[in-house]
């Protein structure tokens, strides 16, 4: 791994509502010789891309697992997060003896284009003005994110990917990878995702974006220049989205109608109920680790995602001739990306005789189940990756 990272740098980034500085790890500038042409038609060149990796790359570079993170995730999938101080969002999945076994695999997670943890995005400085780009940043797509990831792997000398995996928006990237680069992707594990964003999910995203833009502290996207921050709007956006990540059963089991540190209701608008307090906490902590403009851009990228659109709605044609092996995993109580969405992808793959397996995990934990302790889910990932490693000849 040391030789692989010899041309990368580590960098600091001004972050959060109080604009403190944090270390964001490895950053490599890509697309210096050949600009990245975005789907909106604009071009980007010499793009900084932040990433983290675990394990050792073997001699023939056949043990690479690429993790794609979700909307509010980042490259810190395992280990200690530099902003929150908490362990990474997939810390239980990555490491020696874990499903993504770092004694066997080289695991890499790349911060997506448009995000706020080191990769080029709205917080990046415009060299012509010396100020953050804000809304001057171009509108991006999931396809643009994947294209930039491919450019980074090219620069690192990695051509073949043993497996690409991720949940939610990460799963969208997995499907995009398999569609764009079937010759590079030996296997794919899309988790709790869909081949296109539903009207319901677009609606929830629009509520979140409007909450941010209605906050007077948003300042038409120029809040950093004015040393302000739309905390209230971003917090409401997070609270709204977070409800979709849970399930009714999980909310009832965890909170019910229990009161928060009181014996009776106050007949006011403070947080009387535990569920209210929980959502307020989720919103409050989120604003300290995420950028409001990045939230606008990345949710929009998810809204635009429609994998079958390139073949007039025929999703099967997207995968015709693919040699990639698929393991599609969904969760029974997920109403953000319900099992029906994953089954649609399975039917498309079956229609072109692709190698695909499907599993629906029974759980009441909702969409966020892929981030939580679900032994059945872990066993599925571990078993599939073990089979792929044996097939490819990756030593145990």
pLDDT at 317 over 80: yes
What is the spatial distance between Cα 18 and Cα 390, in angstroms, rounded to a whole number? 49
- pLDDT tens track for 156-192: 999 999 999 999 999 999 999 999 999 999 999 999 9
- pLDDT tens track for 250-266: 999 989 998 888 888 88
pTM for this prediction: 0.94
What is the spatial distance between Cα 297 and Cα 169, in angstroms, rounded to a whole number? 13
Residue 83: CB partners within 8 Å, gap ≥ 6? 15, 16, 22, 288, 289
Q: Which two tokens stand for residue 365?
A: 């934990």
| First-to-final CA distance of the chain | 18
- pLDDT tens track for 194-240: 999 999 999 999 999 999 999 999 999 999 999 999 999 999 999 99
Q: Which residues does the annotation mark as catalytic? A: 168, 334, 367
pLDDT at 84: 87
Superfamily name with CATH number, domain 9-197+309-392: Alpha/Beta hydrolase fold, catalytic domain (3.40.50.1820)
- pLDDT tens track for 28-37: 999 999 999 9
Q: Phi, psi (5° rounding) for residue 94?
A: -115, 125
What is the spatial distance between Cα 301 and Cα 304, in angstroms, rounded to a whole number? 5
Q: Which two tokens stand for residue 289?
A: 């680790």
Domains 9-197+309-392 and 200-299 share a fold: no
CATH 1.10.1740.110 fits 200-299, yes or no: yes
pLDDT at 351 over 60: yes
- pLDDT tens track for 121-137: 999 999 999 999 999 99
Q: What percent of the chain has pLDDT over 70?
A: 94
pLDDT at 83: 84
- pLDDT tens track for 58-103: 999 999 999 999 999 999 999 999 888 899 999 999 999 999 999 9
pLDDT at 270: 86
Nearest CA to 158 out of 90, 63, 231 is that of 63
Nearest CA to 145 out of 322, 289, 305 is that of 305
Residue 22, helix vs strand vs coil: strand
The residues spanned by each domain of the chain are: 9-197+309-392, 200-299
């Amino acid at each position: 791994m040391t030789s692989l990272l010899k041309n990368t740098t580590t960098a600091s980034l001004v972050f959060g509502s109080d604009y403190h500085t944090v270390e964001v790890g490895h950053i490599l500038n890509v697309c210096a010789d050949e600009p990245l042409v975005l789907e909106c038609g604009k071009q980007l060149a010499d793009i900084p891309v932040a990433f983290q990796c675990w394990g050792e790359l073997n001699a023939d570079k056949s043990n690479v697992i690429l993790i794609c993170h979700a909307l509010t995730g980042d490259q810190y999938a395992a280990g200690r997060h530099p902003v929150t101080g908490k362990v990474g969002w997939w810390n239980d999945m990555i490491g020696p003896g874990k499903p993504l076994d770092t004694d066997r695999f080289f695991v890499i997670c790349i911060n997506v284009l448009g995000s706020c943890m080191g990769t080029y995005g709205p917080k990046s400085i415009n060299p012509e003005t010396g100020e953050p780009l804000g809304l001057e940043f171009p509108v991006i797509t999931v396809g643009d994110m994947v294209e930039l990831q491919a450019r980074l792997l090219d620069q690192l000398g990695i051509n073949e990917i043993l497996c690409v995996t991720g949940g939610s928006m990460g799963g969208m990237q997995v499907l995009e990878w398999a569609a764009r680069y079937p010759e590079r992707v030996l296997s794919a594990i899309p988790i709790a995702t869909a081949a296109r964003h539903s009207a319901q999910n677009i609606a929830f995203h629009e509520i979140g974006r409007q909450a941010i833009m209605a906050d007077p502290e948003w300042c038409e996207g120029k809040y950093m220049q004015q040393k302000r921050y739309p905390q209230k709007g971003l917090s409401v956006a997070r609270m709204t989205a977070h409800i979709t990540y849970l399930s009714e059963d999980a909310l009832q089991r965890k909170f019910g109608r229990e009161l928060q540190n009181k014996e009776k209701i106050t007949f006011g608008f403070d947080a009387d109920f535990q569920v209210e307090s929980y959502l307020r906490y989720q919103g409050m902590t989120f604003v300290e680790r995420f950028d409001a403009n990045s939230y606008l851009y990345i949710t929009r990228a998810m809204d635009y995602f429609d994998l079958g659109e390139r073949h007039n709605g025929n999703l099967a044609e997207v995968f015709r001739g693919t040699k990639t092996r698929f393991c599609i995993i969904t969760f029974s109580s997920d109403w953000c990306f319900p099992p029906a969405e994953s089954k649609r992808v399975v039917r498309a793959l079956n229609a072109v005789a692709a190698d695909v397996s499907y599993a629906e995990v029974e759980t009441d934990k909702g969409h966020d189940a892929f981030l939580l302790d679900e032994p059945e889910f872990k066993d599925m990932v571990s078993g599939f990756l073990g089979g792929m490693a044996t097939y490819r000849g990756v030593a145990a």
